[in-house]
Amino acid sequence: MSEKIEIRGERDMPVNAMSLGLMTWNKTGSWRNLRPVIDYERCTGCMICWKFCPDACINIENERPVIDLDYCKGCGICVEECPKVAISVVKEE
């Protein structure tokens, strides 16, 4: 019988399966043609973007999300998932 998990907020969610560390040599940021930019005036630090990033390239620094552009592929998932519309994309030059 599995135990019921009470989730009151995103911080209670189980940790995702992420390939941290194993692919650090493979800097995928050069694949990107759109770059996500966080508006810290709008950001509440809910960390939903951190949970959803498929590349695990959003770090938490001083309780704020910081995108590691060495690995961000510019997929835009964080932009879609941010409930505060705090992330937008700009074109890479």
The residue among 26, 27, 39, 29 whose CA lies nearest residue 92 is: 29
* Residue 92 touches ligand SF4, criterion: CB under 6 A: no
* Residue 77 touches ligand SF4, criterion: CB under 6 A: yes
CA–CA gap between residue 91 and residue 68 (Å, rounded)? 17
β-bridge mates for residue 89, sequence order:
36
Q: In the set 74, 88, 90, 91, which binds ligand SF4 (CB under 6 A)?
A: 74
The residue among 42, 33, 37, 28 whose CA lies nearest residue 72 is: 28
Q: In the set 12, 17, 46, 63, which binds ligand SF4 (CB under 6 A)?
A: 46
In the complex, which residues of this chain contact ligand SF4 (CB under 6 A)? 36, 38, 43-49, 53, 55, 57-58, 65, 67, 72-78, 82, 84, 86-87
